[in-house]
Amino acid sequence: MAERPGRWPAPIEVAPALSDIAWAAYGGTAPFDRRVPQRAIGRVYENHVQLAVRSGAPIHTVADLAGRTVSLGAPASCGAVLGDRLLRVAGVTPGTDVRVRHLLMPQAARAMRAGAIDALLVAGGPAPRTVRARHRPRHPPAAPVRPAAPAARRPRPGGIGSWR
């Protein structure tokens, strides 16, 4: 049984997880403070990471988020950990170079429309309707981000969509 850090005190018998988060749990590395025994029982879906920015914003790479505000999703979620890693891989330190908020998707969509955030991270299956209806790709998709992979340590241009 696995425990999700900071969320539920009771053991969890089955839970979906991103592969790098499962690997961190297995190895006892951040955000876990000890090894978490586990067993994979199947793949649910291909995980997509999308970073949406307001149309017309001078943000074309992840590094362009420096000095701005971004929502990385729900606190302590796999997406929040992945978003933190994505910013760091691009050379942007969360909390120092970029202001980070942890909003649920409906809150993040409202904050984007109101101009309270400059970008929002969506990690999961196909984009939810709140992003999909407004997403117009400006660049070809970037290579998948795998924080442990050497290629992911170098920022890649493009891969950011527009928010209208």
Convert the pLDDT of each residue in 37-79 to its tens digit.
Answer: 888 777 777 777 788 898 788 999 999 999 999 999 988 888 8
| Cα–Cα distance measured from residue 22 to residue 44, given in angstroms and rounded to the nearest whole number | 14
Same domain assignment for residues 79 and 36:
no
Residue ranges of alpha helices (H) inside 40-104 are: 78-89
* pLDDT class of 7 with cuts at 50, 70, 90: low
Same domain assignment for residues 39 and 54:
no
Same domain assignment for residues 91 and 159:
yes
Torsion of CA 123, 145, 62, 95, to 10 degrees: 70
Give me the number of domains the chain comprises. 2
| Cα–Cα distance measured from residue 80 to residue 100, given in angstroms and rounded to the nearest whole number | 10
Task: For strands 135-137 and 69-71, give the pairing.
Answer: unpaired
How many other CB atoms are there within 10 angstroms of residue 114's CB atom? 8
Closest-CA residue to 87 (of 77, 75, 96, 76)? 96
Convert the pLDDT of each residue in 118-150 to its tens digit.
Answer: 999 987 766 555 555 444 544 444 444 444 334
Same domain assignment for residues 97 and 115:
yes
Residue-number span of the structural domain to which 11 is assigned: 1-44
Q: What is the CATH number of the domain that holds 140?
A: 3.40.190.10
Same domain assignment for residues 20 and 83:
no
How many other CB atoms are there within 10 angstroms of residue 69's CB atom? 16
| Cα–Cα distance measured from residue 152 to residue 27, given in angstroms and rounded to the nearest whole number | 20
Same domain assignment for residues 71 and 121:
yes
> Mean pLDDT lowest for which of 13-17, 84-88, 96-100, 146-150?
146-150
Same domain assignment for residues 21 and 102:
no
Same domain assignment for residues 13 and 56:
no
Same domain assignment for residues 39 and 52:
no
Contacting residues for 141 by C-beta, under 8 A, at least 6 apart: 158, 159
